Amino acid sequence: MYIAMVSAECAPIAKAGGLGDFIQGLARELVNRGHMVEIFLPKYDVLRYDRIWGMQKYYRDLWVPYYDQWIHCDVEYGEVDGLKCYFIDDHARENFFRRGKIYGEPDDANRFAFFSRAVLEYLLKAGKHPDIIHCNDWQTGLVPVLLFEIYQGLGLTHTRACFTLHNVGHQGVVGEYILRQVGLRPDRLMVAERLLDPFNHRAVNLLKGGIVFSNFVTTVSPRYAWEIQHTDQGMGMQEVLERHDRKFGGVLNGIDYSVWNPEIDTQIPATYGPDTLPGKAANKRALRDRLGLQEAFKPIVSVVSRLDRQKGVELIRRGVDYALEQDCQFVLLGSAPDPAVNAEFWRIKHETDGSPDCHLELAYDEELSHLIYAGADMILIPSVYEPCGLTQMIAMKYGVVPIVRRVGGLADTVFDANYSDKPFEVRNGYLFDDLTEAALESALGRAIGLWFRFPEYFRQLRVNGMRADHSWHRPGQQYLDIYSHIRA
Ligand code: ADP
């Protein structure tokens, strides 16, 4: 099969979170199975150019419709760890992709709507006919709409669209002008069954457009699929997902074990696996060294996260204090897009600066994230909602015991050490339900108690997590089944 993946992110060259890992991991799995995958991205100025091999101009003078004019683009091509990537390079006055960041600009909707149209225009002009276009999140929600409203009629006749929802909390709600920007007809599309936003009847909802117009819609875990159809986690999308129930399902993400595997990880000081677990101790020492923590008989509780309200920042804050009260060490790696949250964590950082047991690193740092997974004993993920969550899966692979709130993909992957209907060999962490400090303390307290008092059981929990299979093998097959289904 020939699959075109269209996305705002792809690890390791343009990653803000799990979407980047998803594209890299699924693409690699499909390529390994012999399929042809091409990844389409904006040519951001912040791409990790050092990780792109053989970057070159591939297609010159792509003129992309923009209102009643055209914008001049080129398409560049390069390989990222053997994956084929095409980059839309706009020469617009607005400099859509030269903003020093991936997201967070006031005109994000314009930027990504333009990108969506540019990708389809390129496929058409270059004579490419993918079997599947796999789109992701609201940024590419217009791709399926454009495909069926415009490009099918122009020649992309057999291409089918699959759309994956990585986070329904971001929907791309924007004025009707966006449709005119990309050449779509507002009179056809601004209706309840199509792109009209459920809360604002003057606005277009790009995520909803992707849902309505795709041949199949997935989200990143079965539990989240249920939550967004049946609870307010759907954030207004419940009705449209119910209506399109027959083409909707949850596929649990995998993680890319060629990137996330302590047995072969070149970014950590000492490799180890479930049978060589004592090797993890060297990484714990290296982590303490790097962050200026003392050597002591204490577990390291960690957080690696975007510091977004979705991630439960209030509980993370409580987690810092509670872990220190319980005689643990605490390490946090996180970046906060919201200035208020950022200021709050800087305040905590200043308060704990110089502590031999606590370090907050307020940055995005891929390499440090590997060292934290390798060196930490526990990871805290108290999310308000969590579509899938990769951090718990990565952490488990590195023998880190997750303490998580029972939501979304966290509930699908973490099984409580004490309270679970699963056999002991698959129990791998601690869960709590309520979004309260008491609930968090109870679960974290159980984990810390086990570390101090029953180290052998704690080791077993680590090993259970390390042995779980969260590779892309099974989800890769599930996506292929979906692609085959919609092609037929
Ligand atoms: P989300 O996509 O909501 O951010 P996920 O758990 O699905 O959450 O994916 C998070 C990914 O981003 C993981 O690979 C994690 O290691 C990485 N990550 C999050 N914050 C940072 C950070 N500050 N520095 C480095 N990597 C980070």
Q: Assign 3-class secondary structure to 279-339.
A: HHHHHHHHHHHHHCCCCCCCCEEEEEEECCHHHCHHHHHHHHHHHHHCCCEEEEEEECCCH
Question: What is the whole-number distance in angstroms between the Cα of residue 20 and the centre of ligand 1?
Answer: 9
CB under 8 Å to 410, separation ≥6 — which residues?
A: 381, 383, 386, 389, 392, 402, 404, 431
pLDDT surpasses 90 at 232? yes
- Our CA angle for 423, 427, 430, nearest 5°, is 140
Question: What is the whole-number distance in angstroms between the Cα of residue 128 and the centre of ligand 1?
Answer: 33
Residue located nearest, by CA, to atom 12 of ligand 1: 17
CB 133 within 8 A of CB 162: yes
CB under 8 Å to 428, separation ≥6 — which residues?
A: 396, 401, 402, 414, 415, 417, 461, 464, 465, 468
Question: What is the whole-number distance in angstroms between the Cα of residue 152 and the centre of ligand 1?
Answer: 37
- Atom of ligand 1 minimally distant from the CA of 391: 6
Residue among 218, 224, 216, 236 nearest 170 (CA): 236
User: And the tokens for 420?
Assistant: 């679970």
Mutate to test the pocket of ligand 1, among 23, 166, 267, 304 (most ligand atoms within 8 A of CB): 304
- Atom of ligand 1 minimally distant from the CA of 15: 12
CB under 8 Å to 184, separation ≥6 — which residues?
A: 142, 145, 146, 149, 150
Q: In DSSP terms, which residues pair with 71 in a beta bridge?
A: 64
Find the residues whose C-beta lies inside 6 A of ligand 1: 17-18, 21, 304-306, 333-335, 364-366, 369, 388-391, 394
Residue located nearest, by CA, to atom 2 of ligand 1: 18
Question: What is the whole-number distance in angstroms between the Cα of residue 15 and the centre of ligand 1?
Answer: 9
Residue located nearest, by CA, to atom 20 of ligand 1: 305
CB 24 within 8 A of CB 10: yes
Average pLDDT over residues 336-365: 94
pLDDT surpasses 90 at 419? yes
pLDDT tens digits, one per residue of 10-34: 999 999 989 999 999 999 999 999 9
What confidence score (pLDDT) does residue 286 get? Answer: 98
Strands, DSSP E only, in 168-267? 173-175, 203-205, 216-219, 248-250
Question: What is the whole-number distance in angstroms between the Cα of residue 143 and the centre of ligand 1?
Answer: 26
CA distance 340 to 274: 41
Q: What percentage of the chain reaches a pLDDT higher than 70?
A: 100
Residue located nearest, by CA, to atom 18 of ligand 1: 305
Mutate to test the pocket of ligand 1, among 306, 316, 397 (most ligand atoms within 8 A of CB): 306
Average pLDDT over residues 259-283: 96
Average pLDDT over residues 350-368: 94
pLDDT surpasses 90 at 250? yes
Mutate to test the pocket of ligand 1, among 390, 397, 407 (most ligand atoms within 8 A of CB): 390
- Atom of ligand 1 minimally distant from the CA of 366: 25
**Number of other CB atoms surrounding residue 70 within 10 Å:** 12
Q: What SS3 state is found at 254?
A: coil
Residue located nearest, by CA, to atom 24 of ligand 1: 364
- Atom of ligand 1 minimally distant from the CA of 167: 3
Average pLDDT over residues 450-463: 98
Question: What is the whole-number distance in angstroms between the Cα of residue 24 and the centre of ligand 1?
Answer: 14
Omega prior to 144 cis, within 30 of 0: no
Residue burial 365-391, b: 16+ Cβ < 10 Å; e: rest: eeebbbbbbbbbbbbbbbbbbbbbbbb
- Residue recorded with tokens 């990137």: 259
Question: What is the whole-number distance in angstroms between the Cα of residue 307 and the centre of ligand 1?
Answer: 10
CA distance 470 to 426: 13
| DSSP per-residue string spanning 323-390 | HHHTT-EEEEEEE-SSHHHHHHHHHHHHHHTT-TTEEEE-S--HHHHHHHHHH-SEEEE--S--SS-S
Confidence of residue 354 (pLDDT cuts 50, 70, 90): confident
What confidence score (pLDDT) does residue 229 get? Answer: 98
Give residue 311's identity as a one-letter amino acid code: K
Question: What is the whole-number distance in angstroms between the Cα of residue 248 and the centre of ligand 1?
Answer: 26
- How far CA 165 is from CA of 96, 139, 146, in Å, comes to 24, 11, 18
Average pLDDT over residues 318-333: 98
What confidence score (pLDDT) does residue 386 get? Answer: 97
What confidence score (pLDDT) does residue 322 get? Answer: 98
What confidence score (pLDDT) does residue 350 get? Answer: 95
What confidence score (pLDDT) does residue 17 get? Answer: 87
Confidence of residue 440 (pLDDT cuts 50, 70, 90): very high
Question: What is the whole-number distance in angstroms between the Cα of residue 379 and the centre of ligand 1?
Answer: 13
pLDDT surpasses 90 at 488? no
What confidence score (pLDDT) does residue 353 get? Answer: 86
- Atom of ligand 1 minimally distant from the CA of 381: 6
Residue located nearest, by CA, to atom 9 of ligand 1: 18
Mean pLDDT of the chain: 97
Model confidence, pTM? 0.94
Question: What is the whole-number distance in angstroms between the Cα of residue 332 and the centre of ligand 1?
Answer: 12
Burial of 268 (0-12, 13-18, 19+ CB in 10 A): buried
- Atom of ligand 1 minimally distant from the CA of 260: 14
CB 272 within 8 A of CB 465: no
Helix and strand numbers (H, E) in the chain are: 18, 17
CB 483 within 8 A of CB 131: yes
CA distance 418 to 199: 42
